[in-house]
Chains A and B, each alone.
Chain A
């Protein structure tokens, strides 16, 4: 454990803001730069900052590798699921037009869901990579 008081206090102030910014990038991607990929990376960066200061074990208590593995797969499945749902509703694969009453609303819903899937997968995989790299014993 590291005992940098200043860094810890500042990080505790910053981490919620970084997470909020990640959510903003995720859900405001229709209007401003950003989207699921960037949001996922920023979200995982907030948790990595926590892990740098408070230790890997504490972070794994917050969100464990098992959960992350499930989430990483769930994101891809959500994305592909939107495509399959569009097929079931009579359109082509990933044709969002049929998802809602009007084509534009369908596009909005489809883009929202696939970006969410991308965000979930990217955030989980980035964290898993960090866990895998840092969790190794020295000399292994």
Chain B
């Protein structure tokens, strides 16, 4: 019961923050609200006992991406450009139809945490029962990520490396200039 009320509170805050982000013009405030949104979703993940995911969301979503967004903001106009609003009928129809379809689609999904859901019937049992003897470490998440699914994690690490290479190729790296100590911002 208390879990549900905390869930509702967090999700309610997230809904309010999303609406505020859409309506705001001050991009600095939007960046801070996005950070808050990530922190709240980290809270939701914690309630779902997904501590590893919550950890990542708090560190990357609320931490590093906010810093990167703020760094970008110092290079551009802080306020969103106002643009003429065209008719809202067509966007409203598209959004309503998509929303209805998504809501309709969720009716087929198994209940949250249902042990008979297809996703829990495949290899999850084996990981939980065997990883203690096969891998020998208590944290099943680490066993799956680094060993059972080591190939995927290698791919993810390569993606991160490639993303870094891509950003460097586009933005370039400023050479260090000796003697000119400049304010980074």
A residues lining the B interface (CB < 8 Å): 1-2, 25, 29-35, 37-38, 41-42, 44-45, 48, 51-52, 55-58, 60-61, 64-65, 69, 72-73, 75-76, 79-80, 83, 93-94, 96, 103-104, 107-108, 110-111, 114-115, 117-118, 121-122, 124-126, 128-140
Q: Does B47 contact A (CB under 8 A)?
A: no
Is A55's CB under 8 angstroms from B183's CB? yes
Which residues of chain A have C-beta atoms less than 8 A from B8's C-beta? none
Q: How far, in angstroms, from A132 to B71 measured CA to CA in the complex?
A: 10
B residues lining the A interface (CB < 8 Å): 51-52, 54-56, 59-60, 63-64, 67-68, 71-72, 74-75, 133-139, 141-143, 145-147, 150-151, 153-154, 157-158, 160-161, 163-164, 167-168, 171-174, 176-177, 180-185
- Known A-B contacts A57-B181, A58-B181, A72-B164; the reply to A29 vs B150 at CB < 8 A is no
Q: How far, in angstroms, from A139 to B74 measured CA to CA in the complex?
A: 10
Which residues of chain B have C-beta atoms less than 8 A from A135's C-beta? 173-174, 184
Contact among A73, A111, A137 with B161 in the assembled complex (CB-CB below 8 Å): A73
Q: How far, in angstroms, from A118 to B138 measured CA to CA in the complex?
A: 20
